[in-house]
Chain A
Amino acid sequence: DVVMTQSPLSLPVTLGQPASISCRSSQSLVYSDGNTYLNWFQQRPGQSPRRLIYKVSNRDSGVPDRFSGSGSGTDFTLKISRVEAEDVGVYYCMQGTHWPPTFGGGTKVEIK
């Protein structure tokens, strides 16, 4: 299985400051169709996961533009330009290129 490694595990951030989460895969996530199926999910406390970003850098409808995704191959990043209180939660990267789909271990974002 493809191993997804996220860092850091915990990310205390000051309101209004930027935040960055790294995700590395054990294999390239480029699929035979040329797409890279790397997604980012947010899970707020007590809620279901919500997809924020798909195929590396595409923001889902309704996702604030302070969230952005980047990367290629095996190295990916989720950035929050200015953290707001509602951004508290756990963030997961997930690859859908190889079976089975696998998730990173999660990064807990909290306010300092």
Chain B
Amino acid sequence: DQQVKQNSPSLSVQEGRISILNCDYTNSMFDYFLWYKKYPAEGPTFLISISSIKDKNEDGRFTVFLNKSAKHLSLHIVPSQPGDSAVYFCAAPNAGNMLTFGGGTRLMVKP
């Protein structure tokens, strides 16, 4: 039972364009969501989060949107840069701070 799903295993965009990464969840008890970024040979690093009381959170080039009725969130990166090439995971914690991750989306930003 995958409670958090990322249906696109990979995404390729041109430098300067927008990258949109999507994530769906099934557990309506989730009230906080995070995006992590992972480079090869490194652990995941926190990128941006959103609480279920909001529908948007912005941090520089990164914006996360939450649609609770659709149980869907998305990460927008504008403009995309080659250094953004990485695997992106969405995740949600349970009450005990234990994270459930999606399967990840590999983003490739072409110069």
A, B from the same assembly: no
- Give B contacts to A, CB under 8 Å: none
List the interface of chain A (C-beta within 8 A of B): none
